[in-house]
Amino acid sequence: MGERYGSVGFMTTNAATRKTMLRLTGSTTLIFKVYEWIVGSDGSPADGVFVYEAQRTTTTGTMTSVTPEPLDTAHGLVAEATAGSLATAEPTYAGVIALAIPLNARASQRWVAAPGGELVAARVASNGLGFGSRSPALTISTRCTVHHEE
């Protein structure tokens, strides 16, 4: 089993346009696996639906850097994957959406992969996974926590 890390991202969701809360990017020497994703809104309570989506990315976009924190602080190893939040320029998304969670804005959800069912990032420069949210009717902030193993 590899080392495990946690990253937190957030974004204000604008209508039907997906905004990236968190992006994890690997490298030509790294395959990482996302095994847990927790999503919800930390804005003022409102009735309405959000769709949280995980999808492969082929560029990093322009984002504020986030440091993936080791979940086992006894080892204290630094993550090889890089992370970003608060996109000012969205990453490029490719392929089909790997995971979609429609959810009332007053609720939160935790997704945990079945063994062998993790979201796996390719060993390609600038490729990774993006975790975003969109809503057809609401503009309030959303937040996510992503746990990955490398």
Residue 16 is predicted with a pLDDT of 81
Residue 15 is predicted with a pLDDT of 67
85 sits in which H/E element: strand 82-89
All domains of the chain, ordered by start, with CATH? 4-149 (2.60.120)
Average pLDDT over residues 106-130: 94
Contacts of 102 (CB under 8 A, 6+ apart): 49, 50, 51, 52
